[in-house]
Amino acid sequence: MNEFIKAFVLITLAEMGDKTQLLALAFASKFKPLYVLIGIFIGAFFNHGLAIALGSYISKFVPIGQVQLFASLLFILFGLWSLKIDIEDDDDEDINSKYGPILTVAFAFFIGELGDKTQLTAMTLGANSNYPLLVLFGTVTGMIVTGGLGILVGKLLGKKIPEVTMKIIAAFVFMFFGTVGLYTYLPSVYIKPLSIASYFVILISLILLIFRSNIIQKDRYYELKLAKVLTKCKNCGQEHIESCPINQERIKIEKNYLGENLPYLGNVVKYLESLKYMNVNLYEKVHNSYKRNND
């Protein structure tokens, strides 16, 4: 048990405030905590379990700096991917991403720990241990504890910060560590003012393109959803009920897109006139979609 406790304490201290703990915080803004913890366990288990064999094998053919360079590129890709906000119903997202989040987190943690001080620590502890299995469980437990703290902080922040903002913060956490990794492990011949400027121009351009795509997707999503709701409500007339599930869906759409709700008294034409006064662009799109639905 001494080896288990030693491995647990060393890894826990090493990971406090490290990038993988921040990654746990970032993933907590996208996935359920249980999925993130399972992903951390799988990624850390395979990474630390194969640390000695994998590290020895790779070091014979590929310098560890190149492995870390590859991991940095993946972090940047993860960051750009995190900026892509899919606007879907929450229930559908939970069903469709039952396995995807776990594998995503596991892969990120496995790659992120390659060549990291935590993997090297596990490698050293295992090489000097009479009970390598206990060392493995000690290091993995340390990863889960620090990851759990990261998730807890992420969820507490999530109650005060909008989900979209948390996702953007998560994306920039990925890209920050990826950029630092590139700067650290790229040969100095490539670290020139022109190449640095070009890198940031390309990165910022990609970020702006993703933001533009998000805006277009958001507009299209709410346009179609609102037109669909109005089509269902067109025959309500005086029988319109405020607590009707369809009407509650309309209220939710308005709150998310407009930030406030418009009165609906069972008359689609009057509702569209109110929408036109508030947001002409949305009115035109909803009106056209509504007409297409009812042609």
Q: What is the pLDDT of residues 15-29, one digit of tens each?
A: 776 667 777 877 876
- Encoded tokens for 290: 């509504």
pLDDT of residue 208: 94
Q: How many CB atoms lie within 10 A of CB 151?
A: 24
pLDDT of residue 21: 72
R_g of the chain computed on alpha carbons: 25
Measured CA angle at 109 (ends 105, 111), to 5 deg:
120
More confident residue, 119 or 128: 119
pLDDT of residue 207: 93
Mean pLDDT, rounded, of the chain: 76
Per-residue pLDDT band at 209 (split at 50, 70, 90): very high
pTM: 0.58
Q: How far apart are CA 294 and CA 51, in angstroms?
A: 62
Instruction: State how far the alpha carbon of 232 is from the alpha carbons of 207, 229, 282, in Å.
Output: 38, 5, 19
pLDDT of residue 89: 46
Q: Which residues contact 241 (CB under 8 A, 6 or more apart)?
A: 247
pLDDT tens digit sequence for 43-85: 888 888 876 555 445 555 666 677 678 767 877 887 787 777 6
Q: How far apart are CA 115 and CA 11, in angstroms?
A: 14
pLDDT of residue 117: 65
In the predicted model, what is the mean pLDDT of residues 116-123? Answer: 69
Burial of 26 (0-12, 13-18, 19+ CB in 10 A): buried
Q: Under a CB-based contact definition with an 8 Å cutoff, are residues 212 and 54 in contact? A: no
Please determine, for residue 158, whether its predicted confidence score (pLDDT) is greater than 70: no
- Encoded tokens for 243: 């607590």
Task: Put residue 215 in one of left, alpha, beta given phi > 0 → left and psi -120 to 50 → alpha.
Answer: alpha
pLDDT of residue 83: 79
pLDDT of residue 189: 87
- Encoded tokens for 23: 């990654």
Interhelix angle 117-127/51-61, nearest 10 degrees: 110
Q: How far apart are CA 225 and CA 219, in angstroms?
A: 10
- Encoded tokens for 206: 């990609």
Burial of 21 (0-12, 13-18, 19+ CB in 10 A): buried
pLDDT of residue 201: 96
pLDDT of residue 187: 86
Measured CA angle at 282 (ends 278, 285), to 5 deg:
145
pLDDT of residue 95: 35
In the chain, where are the structural domains located? 2-191, 216-294
Please determine, for residue 37, whether its predicted confidence score (pLDDT) is greater than 60: yes
Q: Under a CB-based contact definition with an 8 Å cutoff, are residues 31 and 158 in contact? A: no
Q: Among positive and negative, which fits the CA dihedral 83, 26, 175, 54?
A: negative
More confident residue, 250 or 160: 250
